[in-house]
Chains A and B, each alone.
Chain A
Amino acid sequence: MSRIGIFYYNNKVFRAIKTIAIDEVVWLGSRILINKYYLLISKRIGNVDLVNIKNGQKIKSIIVGNGEVDTLEYIDSTEQILAISLDRAWLIDKKHLFI
């Protein structure tokens, strides 16, 4: 079990707000923040998860290719997510994440 910790920090105060448990994380591959409140995380093994960091809910689990997505990057020009799985790359439309 791995966790995402959300903290408040204003240069003086560092305060824990919430912890989000993420199942089955062996090794965090990559993560990108989308639309301010959504964290997309890849785990090198298994699905790519979309987590709402405001309420701590995992809202979608996405199968990309055969899994093993290591790297995620957001492409502003096309509003797509580039998900790289070893020798293959996949383009995911951002809007598909929120359907």
Chain B
Amino acid sequence: MEDTIVKKDRIVLESEVCFACLYIEIWDRIIMAHTNGILSLWDGTSMTKLDSVEIPIDKASESEDIAFSNKHELVISLFEWKIDIRKITPQGLSRQPIMTLSSLVSINAILILDHIDCFLIGSNKIELWSFETLKPAGIIDTESEGPIAEMIYIKKFNQLIVTTFGPNILFYDLKKKLMRRKVHFRNEHWANVIDFVEDQIY
């Protein structure tokens, strides 16, 4: 095994602490969410900053995640206690959000479901929100499982897979909002993060 020191190819940030970023392939743009509430938009090829806006955050919280709705051209920024939804174009970010949501419980995960015009918010439960109305459209009750850590959607199975801050992986039928399977890990192993890769051959 070889250690490699990465050369200073380019330093693109200057005193802006960033905890989350997302590459938008169709636009060749990068969105970064910074701890101080700054949301910035970068060109993916030139790595130049195109725009930034400040999201007012009430108390110190890390930027947890960013999600992008291709269909609705919206960016959802997730801070620990707040969600900010605003319009985005390849050129910039809207000055005003179209919705903000403050929460009393810690929000850890967000998932875009453009095919049903919804997004999911994971805290100590999973809330289904409509892009059309920007209102809750349903709840998947997971409270007995502990806080949600991450959510992925597998289109070919129409299935939601959820990790928690606990020893279980949960499989939900998204249409019926019912748990179909629970995988439990022994020895207190927590599976916090999860990916699904199609067509892997072993």
The A interface, classified by DSSP as helix, strand, loop or mixed, is strand
A36 touches B200 (CB 8 A): yes
Knowing A8-B202, A33-B197 touch, does A87 contact B17 (C-beta < 8 A)? yes
Q: Mark B1-18, 1 if CB is under 8 A from A, else 0.
A: 111111011111111111
Q: How many A residues face the partner with a CB closer than 8 A?
A: 44
Knowing A9-B196, A33-B195, A73-B23 touch, does A88 contact B4 (C-beta < 8 A)? no
Contacts of B195 in A (CB 8 A): 31, 33
B3 touches A14 (CB 8 A): no
Q: Return the chain A residue nearest B190 by Cβ.
A: A2
Q: Return the chain B residue nearest A28 by Cβ.
A: B193
Q: Mark A63-95, 1 if CB is under 8 A from B, else 0.
A: 111000011011111101011101111111100
Beyond known contacts A6-B202, A71-B19, A90-B10: 20 more, CB 8 A cutoff:
A5-B191, A28-B193, A36-B197, A37-B200, A60-B3, A60-B4, A61-B2, A63-B4, A73-B22, A77-B44, A78-B44, A83-B6, A84-B32, A86-B17, A87-B17, A87-B18, A90-B9, A91-B10, A92-B9, A96-B6
Name the distance in Å between B167's Cβ and chain A's nearest Cβ.
12
A70 touches B30 (CB 8 A): no
Out of B1, B11, B193, B202, name the residue touching A60 (CB < 8 Å): B1
Q: Does B116 sit within 8 A of A, measured CB to CB?
A: no
B23 touches A64 (CB 8 A): no
Contacts of B200 in A (CB 8 A): 36-37
Contacts of B28 in A (CB 8 A): 75-77
Q: Which of A5, A33, A47, A54 has the most CB of B within 10 A?
A: A5
